[in-house]
Amino acid sequence: MATAVHTNTDQAFQRCLAPDCGATYDVGEVRTSCGECGGLLDVSYDWDRINVPDSLRWFEKKWARRNEPLCRSGVWRFHEMLPFAPAEKVVTIGEGQTLLSPSDGVAKYVGLNAGGLYLEYEGLNPSGSFKDNGMTAAFTHAHTIGAKRAACASTGNTSASLALYCGVSKLMKGVIFIGSGKISYGKLSQALDYGALTIQIAGDFDDAMQRVRQVSEQLGIYLVNSVNPFRLEGQKTIMYRVLESLNWEVPDWIVVPGGNLGNSSSFGKAFMEMLELGLIDRAPRLAVINATGADTLHELYEVHGQRWNDGQIDQQTTSAFFDDMDKHNRRASTIASAIEINRPVNYEKCLRALAVCDGVVREVTDQEILDAKSQVGANGFGCEPASGASVAGAKKLREEGVIAPSDRVVCVLTGHQLKDPTATVAYHTADQDEFNRVLASRGVQRAEFANRAVAVPNDLDQIVQAIQLNS
């Protein structure tokens, strides 16, 4: 049993993901790709030199010290699993205090036995999405190297999170890149309110991502998108908390929406490391769910059969796929704006995660996403459209028989219900014009689970009658 906590940065380094490159870099270097081969980087640890607990239960000790910020944070109470920065450099705002909640109502909708479905509410983070798990880690790294400005491209949640960390800590100025008309008002309002410099470019997320990489490099601004390997270290902790909530038992399935594929990649890394350290004896299966209008991973993994293959990825097929996408100017389009992404930057890391977790990928339509989202709302705290994809995906996998009725399934709800009220109100509205404007234009035909407001004249008798008729 470990007794002391060592988080010496000498024990951590950055390593190229490609096994035949494997170049390493100091944690003090700011990189978003390998200098040798251009590949993605991982944060790696020399575990032999780190006093890692020999049981996940060891982390329960931290609960008694919740008055200390690092023990209160749902990210940093697992500091021993992401020991790349010393405790005194950690920037935390109390992120990661989220809930895993069983929902029999959603289990029934998905087709699982009662007690088999759990919702991991990452919308309960300070900025309302799972991004805070990663932002505290990237911000900590940025702080250790003395960055004064930090940037990201975003479909809205990364930018809200970055803006919040900048606003609260006052350590850095946030610069965010968003596509035009591609961000929900809830998220845009956060970035503006928290005081980030907001650059709205004429283009979509994929364009914004390309530009922010160029601009950060040119101006020496610290990039916090999930190509930043430190960010993904923080997102691993979502899985530690899931296990913690299940009394350290590994569920059968983790189901997560896929956009830029940072979350799925970090989950895979978390399980890979826990297996390596003997902290768990099996990994859960991972299901990554794309929206039909933004289905690059689904196409490459399920249709073209791309695999991690110990790092020997068939680059030719991937390049041909993207060349064809460019040739036909195919652009991502889904009501789940958070995952409206065609060029996921963590694609290769996600393939590794799918290999570690015997994963599957599915795509779900905007109709399926909104119906599933409405069921989360009717049976729990609600979520934003992208998060509904995980429940819709679980339902699809259940219908296919890939998930069994008796399986224990965790659907990660990545963002808060209030992030995108436009989609929610349009689903429940009785105003056909509004429904058509927001939803029918995206192929959503019906709102089977709509909870319509009842319009009544301002008349006491008629109000009373309406309540009696409807309750």
- Binding residues (CB under 6 A) for ligand F0G: these are 129, 131, 154-158, 226, 257-264, 338-339, 384, 386-387, 414-415
Q: Among 376, 349, 361, 93, which Cα is nearest to 236's? A: 349
Largest CA distance in the chain: 77
Q: Which is nearer to ligand F0G, 260 or 334 (CB)?
A: 260
Burial class (CB in 10 A: 0-12, 13-18, 19+), 177: buried
Q: How far are the Cα atoms of 14, 99, 130 from residue 73, in angstroms, in the given order?
A: 24, 13, 13
Cβ 164 to ligand F0G, closest distance in Å?
12
360 three-class SS:
strand
Q: Check if the beta carbon of residue 99 is closer than 8 Å to that of residue 123.
A: no
Q: Count other C-beta atoms under 10 Å from residue 25's C-beta.
A: 17
Cβ 178 to ligand F0G, closest distance in Å?
9
278 three-class SS:
coil
Cβ 82 to ligand F0G, closest distance in Å?
17
Q: Which is nearer to ligand F0G, 131 or 236 (CB)?
A: 131
Instruction: Report the Cα–Cα distance between both ends of the chain, in Å, rounded.
Output: 58
Cβ 256 to ligand F0G, closest distance in Å?
7
378, two tokens: 């009717």
439, two tokens: 């939803």
Cβ 129 to ligand F0G, closest distance in Å?
5
Q: Count other C-beta atoms under 10 Å from residue 115's C-beta.
A: 11
Q: Check if the beta carbon of residue 375 is closer than 8 Å to that of residue 105.
A: yes
Q: Which is nearer to ligand F0G, 127 or 375 (CB)?
A: 127
Q: Check if the beta carbon of residue 137 is closer than 8 Å to that of residue 233.
A: yes
Q: Which residues pair with 287 in a beta bridge?
A: 255, 360
Element (H, E) at 72: helix 69-72
Q: How far are the Cα atoms of 47, 123, 333, 346 from residue 242, in angstroms, in the given order?
A: 23, 14, 31, 22
Cβ 291 to ligand F0G, closest distance in Å?
10
Q: Which is nearer to ligand F0G, 62 or 396 (CB)?
A: 396
Cβ 376 to ligand F0G, closest distance in Å?
13
Cβ 204 to ligand F0G, closest distance in Å?
12
Cβ 123 to ligand F0G, closest distance in Å?
8
Q: Which is nearer to ligand F0G, 159 or 367 (CB)?
A: 159
Q: Check if the beta carbon of residue 216 is closer than 8 Å to that of residue 222.
A: yes
Q: Which is nearer to ligand F0G, 13 or 165 (CB)?
A: 165
Amino acid identity of residue 421, one-letter, is P
Q: Which is nearer to ligand F0G, 50 or 137 (CB)?
A: 137
Q: Which is nearer to ligand F0G, 90 or 341 (CB)?
A: 341
Strand 117-121 and strand 149-154: the pairing is unpaired
Q: Which is nearer to ligand F0G, 53 or 293 (CB)?
A: 293
